Amino acid sequence: MTYNAGHYDVIVVGAGHAGVEAGVAAARMGAKTLMLTLNLDMIAFMPCNPSIGGPAKGIVVREVDALGGIMGKMIDQTYIQMRMLNTGKGPAVQALRAQADKALYSSEMKKLIENEKNLTVRQAMVEEIIVEDGVCKGVITESHAAYYADAVILTTGTYMRGKVLMGDLEYESGPNNQRPSLKLSSNLEALGLELVRFKTGTPPRVNHHTIDYSKTEIQPGDENPKYFSYETKENLVEQVPCWLTYTNEFTHQVINDNLGLSAMYSGAKRGTGPRYCPSIEDKIVRFNDKPRHQVFLEPEGRNTEEVYVQGLSTSLPEAIQHQIVRSVPGLENAEIMRPGYAIEYDAVVPTQLWPTLETKTIPGLFTAGQINGTSGYEEAAGQGIMAGINAVRKVFGKESVILDRSQGYIGVMIDDLVTKGTNEPYRLLTSRAEYRLLLRHDNADLRLTDIGYEIGLISEERYQNFLNKKRFIEEEKARLKTVTIKPTETVLQIMSEAGASPLKEPTKAYDLLKRPELEYEDIEGMIEPNPEINDEIKDQVGIQVKYEGYIKKAIEQVGRMLKMEDKKIPENIDYDAISGLATEARQKLKRIQPLSIGQASRVSGVNPADISILLVYIEQGHIARVAN
């Protein structure tokens, strides 16, 4: 027998990286929001690596921030090391990565959640979704509380039927020995959702005092750290370095000798693991010609001696893990504090979702994060905020917000998930984005602040600053077009220092900035400086001018893509009535229910002939003319 525990606009199940973004976004958009978590002490916990960001992922954090999310600000306040990656490459692929103070990140997030207006957070185990007339109405907990809501967002991470694996040891568990969620999976299956079994893993943690760092290489943070959030002005803290060491033949020997003991190699049928984050067993088996693999030693925080051994993710038995760890230079005497393990869990097949992250079969039920088959804190956060936004928009009767593939990595990720699905835990990579020159770290605000403001997650003050920034960028670009630079001594001096061939005749500053060797700072030395603009704006002007040709080309491509996105597929289209569609295409289209021709064309198994048939059908409403 349940008791009525109240009604909310939105319920978020889970308080991980997807859950907190969803919950805070919903609350800040004015929805009365309930957040249920298995353990209040594990809010926004990082069960695997102690870092946030990196290529593509770091840009997602920026996007979340531009939309008004919280991950960026939180990591800016709790980092122990900050690095800009790919600085030697083009602007499109530069990305920030922070080493996090895990415990601090989690406790600060808990504080934020507890103090958030409109947001109630409670410890509870959700076991059942309340569905009435096919529509999601709330959730029931194991303690018989029935919470009602107009929208429910599931962000269960790796907890659903979670199972920890280490050698022959296996037990039902969430990550880091948390209670698993054992009943919700079967409830979802009963409601008609298809689940898939994935796995991931984590390496052992060792005690800082037992590492001989002299045998490793130091990996310091940046001298002038940049920040994820556009609102973080400065938070200089003393940074903590990471360290690099390597596996060797002996390590590989130990692993090869004991491969049969690995939970993942013991022959039992297991969930699918990610290729981009392989266990050390996988690396040895799949690339056995490599004499060594990198191992990064990453501190887990300031107030702990635990060090994360990046690169040694494993499901080998504990006894073997000791041998492996101690075979690595610098770790000869290392004491494992927590062994590594693999974890299997249930995920929802994401092609069952609309691009709003609402399930197609159960209106009102949304899913976000690892439950959708992704991996990574940033991927979770990106989905979390979008699910939160769309749940509230739905409850409030407003139009949904869907980012397309040219607006953000978030758009790329969600489109990939709901259109193509994934057969392994999905991670964002820059190579997944067709328009990555447009999806830069530096311009996330230019891409998404308008949306964040419109939905009510960006403050008026921040928005005004943003508009000013935009104006300054345009004005400065316009100014550079009017200023002429002559080959004076100063100019030639600056050019030779920058390694640029000397200027021969007077040239517009704008055109000179296009030279690959010259940065905005160089040009600035040749003209009257603009006191109104800061470094961020200077960078932006430099990038926009220097890569103008490429950006223009990308924008043209986007234009063609958007044309296809604008061709909407009617909601009640009957694919069975369209003769001429190949059977595979028909089945896929019925399953995915793409919203546009553009989305349909990205469904695997739908070939160009099917698309042209679909186009003709939609445009003429009559298939008989297609093949004739």
Binding site for another protein (CB under 8 A): 55-56, 85-86, 89-90, 92-93, 244, 275-278, 283, 286-287, 290, 293-294, 296, 310-311, 313, 420, 429-432, 434, 437, 516-517, 547, 550, 553-554, 579-580, 582, 604, 607-609, 613, 627-628
Query: Given the complex with another protein, which of 171 and 276 has the nearer CB atom?
Result: 276
Task: Report angle CA 181, 183, 188 to the nearest 5 degrees.
Answer: 105
Residue type, 385: I
- Least distance (Å) between residue 338 CB and another protein: 19
- Least distance (Å) between residue 201 CB and another protein: 11
- Least distance (Å) between residue 244 CB and another protein: 8
Contacts of 490 (CB under 8 A, 6+ apart): 525, 526
Query: Given the complex with another protein, which of 111 and 553 has the nearer CB atom?
Result: 553
DSSP code, position 298: E
- Least distance (Å) between residue 97 CB and another protein: 9
Query: Given the complex with another protein, which of 60 and 70 has the nearer CB atom?
Result: 60
**For residue 527, what are its two tokens?**
């003209």
H or E segment to which residue 171 belongs: strand 169-172
Query: Given the complex with another protein, which of 209 and 292 has the nearer CB atom?
Result: 292
Query: Given the complex with another protein, which of 105 and 435 has the nearer CB atom?
Result: 435
Which among 278, 226, 280, 217 is positioned nearest to 251, based on CA atoms? 280
Q: Output the CA torsion sign for 581, 587, 588, 590.
A: positive
- Least distance (Å) between residue 604 CB and another protein: 7
Alpha helices in 407-524 (DSSP H): 409-415, 444-454, 460-482, 489-497, 509-513, 520-524
H or E segment to which residue 120 belongs: strand 119-123
Query: Given the complex with another protein, which of 21 and 282 has the nearer CB atom?
Result: 282
**For residue 54, what are its two tokens?**
């990196």
Query: Given the complex with another protein, which of 168 and 556 has the nearer CB atom?
Result: 556
Residue type, 556: E
Query: Residue 396 in 3-state DSSP?
Result: coil
333: Cα within 13 Å, side-chain hemisphere = 7
DSSP code, position 208: G
Q: Which residue's structure tokens are 């593939």? A: 405
What are the DSSP E strand ranges found in 233-375?
Answer: 242-246, 294-299, 306-310, 336-338, 341-348, 365-367
- Least distance (Å) between residue 226 CB and another protein: 16
Q: State how far the Cα of 125 lies from the Cα of 447, in Å rounded to an integer.
A: 38
- Least distance (Å) between residue 313 CB and another protein: 8
Query: Residue 502 in 3-state DSSP?
Result: coil
- Least distance (Å) between residue 514 CB and another protein: 9
Query: Given the complex with another protein, which of 141 and 422 has the nearer CB atom?
Result: 422
Query: Given the complex with another protein, which of 484 and 604 has the nearer CB atom?
Result: 604
Q: Output the CA torsion sign for 182, 188, 191, 193.
A: negative
- Least distance (Å) between residue 517 CB and another protein: 7
